[in-house]
Amino acid sequence: MKIIYIRFKTMLIALIAILAILALIIFFSFNFTTKTKDIFNNDDVYYKGTIDEKIIAFACNVDWGNECIPGMLDIFRESDIKITFFVTGRWAEKNPELLKTIYENGHEIGNHGYFHRDYNTLNYEDNKKEIQKADLIISEILGIKSKYFAPPSGAYNDYTVRAATDLEYKLIMWSIDTIDWRNDSTKDKIINRVIGKHHNSAIVLMHPKEETVKALPVIIQNLKDKGYKIGSISDIIK
């Protein structure tokens, strides 16, 4: 009887342990799903625009690449296109005249945070501080309030979303990535990453890179031939 009792007690403890583990798995799975739903269904996070029309927004993230920006501006001017440039605060501080030139060319200026950091690793206060610092610098140089925030590398968490929303920003991602920042990204590779992936209200992410400047005329002409208008983030979010 004693042996049976010990075996029964051992089995009971094992069963309780298994049930506890299952409860923990269900708990964490539910919380992860809820957190993911809260982030990706948030009305202030946009991977594409809200207009079901043949218009595509170009988003150029700027933290370097000064030498390529004049060439991009020339192409956009010749094509009568106004896009959105997302600039970091530290870049704006060092290049106020170039920022003014971009803005005076009619392009929309977005917030790319102060430093090029991984915002998904930051808490609420640090996220808010980074966005707000860039906001103040852009405002001081241009006298405007940006409406859109693009987190560097597309890295964000729920604190980033909250901080951006509290500062009256919409968080912008992308639906088409040129991946032009990679060293092996050639003109043809960049073109192929955009062509064929076009869709209404798409957001095309790019950077001021030499190969991007070479690829832009081909991309622009191809999209126009397909009946697309090219514009800024404000043109696709209403």
| Position 22 confidence tier, pLDDT thresholds 50, 70, 90 | low
What is the domain partition of the chain in residue ranges? 1-41, 45-236
- At residue 196, what are phi and psi to the nearest 5 degrees? 95, -15
pLDDT tens digits, 192-233: 999 989 999 999 999 999 999 999 999 999 999 999 999 999
Residues 74-95 have a mean pLDDT of: 98
Distance CA 234, CA 147 (A): 9
Q: How confident is the model at residue 9 (pLDDT cuts 50, 70, 90)?
A: low
Q: How far apart are CA 84 and CA 208, in angstroms?
A: 12
The class (CATH top level) of 45-236 is: alpha beta
State the average pLDDT over residues 63-72. 98
Give the C-alpha separation, 172 to 184, whole Å: 26
With b for 16 or more beta-carbon neighbours within 10 A and e for fewer, the 182-217 pattern comes to: eeebebeebbebbeeebeebbbbbbbbbebbbbbbe
The pTM (predicted TM-score) of the whole model is 0.82
Query: Measured between alpha carbons, how far is 116 from 63 in angstroms, rounded to an integer?
Result: 7
Residue with tokens 């622009």: 220
In the chain, pLDDT over 70 holds for what percent of residues? Answer: 82
**Could you report the per-residue pLDDT of 24-51, keeping only the tens digit for each?**
444 444 443 333 334 433 567 999 999 9
Q: Which residue has the tokens 């309030």?
A: 145
Model confidence pLDDT, tens digit, residues 141-181: 999 999 999 999 999 999 999 999 999 999 999 999 999 99
Residue 230's H or E segment, with its range, is strand 229-231
